[in-house]
Chains A and B, each alone.
Chain A
């Protein structure tokens, strides 16, 4: 009994039952494709977030009134003030540059289009501290702020959304119905989502206070900030900048050492470690979804196998009756399931990668396809395929031909 002969028998059986074969393949394809797509997108999102934080610069210290980097912290009524920024700049040592900012979501309109964007009031040093670069035009200058000019620098996504490829420099947009002239466009950072700046509209902080942000940016008559970004002089001074800033903030707000600081002061390293718990959760979530897809795919395979088990048991009975030894039967089913698993696995990888590719192409998340994901997806579904393909055959081949033929 040659191996080639057995392979021919198996392929012939697959060909004779095209519907059953393709449904089994479909089950494997669904499982593999879902796992590949979900895990790739998950990995892409995770590494995207991490690289964006890294892209902010290793010497970065961020003081924020938001709770984002301090999960579990309570909401507070204490505001970060512009005067806090001034105190930090004058008292903390080893600051290379720093920028205060205030951000809020506003409606932005250009001719017929309008949409909501994050409007950030900034100072000229924002460009350097947050590692932005100008693609077209110029950045905001200190003169813009001092003279309360209504000028704006927009992110690349905003530019393409509102102007569809036209040069936006010199054009006018309305932010909450106030006219602003576009003087610059930021270079895209290439990644989307959190903190990229591509979807931001930057205006001079002073102009923002007087024309846009209104009462939300004022607390007891003082100007409020969303945050302060500080670039430490070098990597070694990051920790001292963090602790000195905290000290300044405490004294500014009359807080003792034991009081909880109502702001977060964090370095990039701290942000990365906070993020790692978020990304770990995300990976676990995606892993769970992928596991469910594999289960669904596996159940698909199992259903097809179980539905056809009567017919196949009779087929086994017949093959044995005309002289097939048990070994040949098992080998036939092994080749059948291996073939289906291979086809399904390859198609599933192609299909899953295509989904990941489309997601990346649409600019939602840059999916990262790695070998371990492909191997994991393929191995799992191949094992499920093999088990559900061979187990019934193994059972049926134990029956005598006459029992198998009478199986119902």
Chain B
């Protein structure tokens, strides 16, 4: 379970202050699958970084599994990231010239896992994402979708309480994107993995049971989606016509 209370994040650009987050409060329970949706500049990536303990809020409180994370020191944050959080990036961020297996093992080298257990757990995570036969491949030998699966395996390998993804389908074509959504849905239903992802695309967002709408650094709507789209369903034409939903064509900020 994670809970954010009145989180603000202020960036200084020269003399100007930019309020990227302006008092965001939200609570996500274990086993939920949630999309955080908002247009470019709504603060969703900033929120994601704070939820993933990659950045700290200017003010407000943030609890991960009832542990306060807002005022923590760098090392304590690193420990939280190592044990509680799996993060998936839009750009995959795999180590180049390093095999899929070693990429997935990376978080285990920092969380105290014994060396002999690392390979087994990394293999298991790669099997979960359907890439057991590509373990020895380097990122440049894998397609975009496969690279994102490796990144998801890396996020899952430390059994995180929370799987966070920042525009996970943003750099993928719609078919590969659907495969990634299917993988998230499967993790959610079969393993009760808590999944939170950010998207600007309402079609992608509607694959979840709950959609939190963000605008100008504030939560404007917290919506229950009773009929989540099943991954692989073709994108309806009316959504394609919507200027906001052009197949992930938006450039990441």
Contact = CB atoms under 8 A, between A and B. Distances in A.
Contacts of A405: 89, 93
B154 interface: yes
Contacts of B95: 16, 315, 318
In the complex, the 6 A-B pairs of residues with the closest C-beta atoms, listed nearest first: A323-B82, A322-B107, A325-B78, A323-B110, A323-B81, A401-B54
A17 B97 contact: yes
Interface residues of A, number: 26
B227 interface: no
Nearest to B107: A322
A189 to B, nearest CB: 58
B93 A318 contact: yes
Interface centre among A12, A315, A323, A326 (most CB of B within 10 A): A323
Interface in A309-325: 311, 314-315, 317-325
Contacts of B158: 323
Q: Give the interface residue-count category, chain B.
A: 20 to 34
B118 to A, nearest CB: 10
Nearest to B50: A402
A400 B75 CA distance: 12
Interface of B: 49, 52, 54-56, 74-75, 78-79, 81-83, 87, 89, 93, 95-98, 102, 106-107, 109-112, 115, 154, 158
A324 B49 contact: no
Given A12-B102, A314-B93, A400-B55, A325 B79 contact: yes
Contacts, number: 73
A368 to B, nearest CB: 44
Given A16-B95, A315-B95, A9 B109 contact: yes
A397 to B, nearest CB: 10
Interface in A372-408: 400-402, 405
A325 B74 contact: yes
Contacts of B89: 405
Contacts of B112: 1
Given A319-B110, A402-B54, A402-B55, A326 B75 contact: yes
A164 interface: no
Contacts of B109: 5, 8-9, 324
Contacts of A326: 74-75, 78
B106 A319 contact: yes
